[in-house]
Structure 1
Amino acid sequence: MRQQDVILGQLAETVTDLIEPVIPYLVIGSKKAAEEARKKAGPEVWAVKKKLWEKLFSRDRPDLKEAAGDLVIAPSDPEVKQVLIRAIMNSFEKDPDLAKEISSFMEDEIIQRMLLEQRTRAEDGSVQLIIQNSSEKTRVLEEFNKLLEEFTAKNNTVSTAHDLEQLEAGQGKEETMEKALDFASKIQYGDLRSQALSLIVPYLKGPDKVKLIEKTLYSTSNIQDEDERARVLSSLVPHLKRQGKEEIIEDILDFSPHIQYGDAKFQILSSLVPHLEGSGNEELMEKALEMAAGIQSEFLRVQALSLLIPHLKGQRKEEIIEEALELASNLKDKDMRPQALSFIILHLDETRKKELFEKALEMATRIKSESRRAQALFSLVPYIGGSEK
């Protein structure tokens, strides 16, 4: 359940990032606003983002529209943006079919390119979706895109039996992919390099897949920006099959001491956890626990530990449960304690589950801030039925 929350949260954040630059025009919804958006963003970009907006807001969800409207009023307030992300995530939780539809929509190659261009432009508040940096950056990105398009063309074109044989043998494709990977690894701009590497990862296939991913991993270690590095690292493991997966996970975990920011560590760890299922590798689990221990934010550390608990056994599992409970019960921000405790409730026996739920509920009802009290109570809703058993 918690792993699914992480996935839905990442999807909601990506959706918000995509529509954020044009939210004022989407919220206004007038013909004049649409015309202005088309001029600034471009007809194709505006059409895609408007379509995404209609998919999300065609449902009767006034809280979504309210949160989007608040972001128009306070576009630079990160907390307001988080409210919109949470509202979108709630829509996905209540409507799994919507989540699947949006997830499929976001995988489109055109949208992925839009995200790339949007994230690599200068942060000047402009809604234009082109790279605003130097002409050299533009040239580098264009050259890389040509390589990627060349690979995609070879990957998708099968006109004869001979072409099919070459496709199955990997002839031509692997050489082009190596060329694109070498080019991406040598891009001097950290933001472009990380985005280029992230684009390559889904295409890594064939017998040399693990080797290519390892090359991507070590190239990523040179990226200075922590968030950019985390984005690439967290995109690696989902594209691996069972063979070689644990080695890559171990390599990624070994990089964790070099990552300074806790939110980046949490992002990477949360992306790795689903792939630890059935591992049974105690050494790997200890490295994952070490990574969690290095997260500075105690709240995020509790959440990270809660993700790892299902993959632990015996005495070690009990130790981590107690450690997480101790952390959650003593957070400096008392208003966050109920939500932190909610991460652990799921992993307790029925007696302790009831006791902890009642403790967290009492804490939540004492929170003075209405919005924070509502957030705390919402986190406990999934356990209401269980507490009455």
Structure 2
Amino acid sequence: MLNIADTLHDWCREDRSFALATVIHVTGSAPLPPGTALAVDAAGNVVGSISGGCVEGAVYELCQQVLADGGTPARARFGYSDDDAFAVGLTCGGEIDVLVQCVDRADRSHLAKALDAVVHSRPAAVAQVVDGPEEFLGRTLSLLGDSSTYDGTLGGEREDRAVAAQSRALLRAGRTGRIEVGGDADTCPDRLSVLVHTYATRPRMLVFGAVDFAAALSRAGHFLGYRVTVCDARPVFATPTRFPHADEVIVDWPHRYLADTAVDTRTAICVLTHDAKFDIPLLRLALSLPVGYVGAMGSRRTHDHRLGALRELGVSEDELARLCSPIGLDLGAHTPEETAVSITAEIIAHAHQGTGLPLSRGTGPIHRPAPGALSSAARTAA
């Protein structure tokens, strides 16, 4: 639902009744992921999309029906139909399950707080029951990233505590996902399937080296939604004028800046300095941190020399295996702009465990679950 946070925020503040249609499960090559939503208010105004246009008409009618029926939630499945060329379905060949619910006044009250956080770029999560006993279906609970408390209820204190704990973990990871709770005496007797919608702060891209490649990479990183930092120890090169697409330009020794800045598992570190006095202490530190990606520019000879220097400093083989060097995918890139595409393509593939191969050479579904999506604690479907 956070794909339409701006409009839902306005509707909640206006205390406007509306029906919310949410993609709760995807099979195969569906166009949009779980959590994507469409909403219809009592006046027939619509916002959002759940299929890129394939089934929007049918979902719009279902939303109006739920509003007219007094808010009883409804579920529907849409897939590809070979039997009827005029059937409502997805042309991509996948299947989606959609939950349609009427968002009542109690939910609008606490959703407004979470949506306000999203609109103002603050982390928040909304947990939504998408499967379980009918009396729980569609209930929501929201959390703000700067608070240890939650608002709303899924039906009982035990359910709420269990869902809130797992939702916070997903929020820290920046993942929208599906979790299962209940079915035992320790949490709650009723088993609930809950879709947790998360809005996390932008992931960071740290670009070290104020070179032409960094200018192109900062532009590409900004386009992909990263908060981009360019860092270089040379003040004559590290200027905001040279890097207008960077969120910040830092003049400092790279390893010293990295030691003092905040990183997480979504952070991408790109070392473009191509100078051993900067690269080696920086990479030694970067490879010891729990970041998502570490890449370094240079030839294969430079890479071999780098590995030797890092080994001499005690960097382990497991840590060295995390280094993507030479940086980027083999796209035949030559210009800084082409190289930026090569680097960001590798970052995307690394984050989602992609192969980097042309889709035309692969088999099976194009879309896949997010890495780490299945665990005993939280079965996600982001």
Tell me the TM-score normalised to structure 1 length: 0.27
Higher relative contact order (CA 8 A, sep 6+): 2
Tell me the TM-score normalised to structure 2 length: 0.27
- Greater per-residue strand proportion: 2
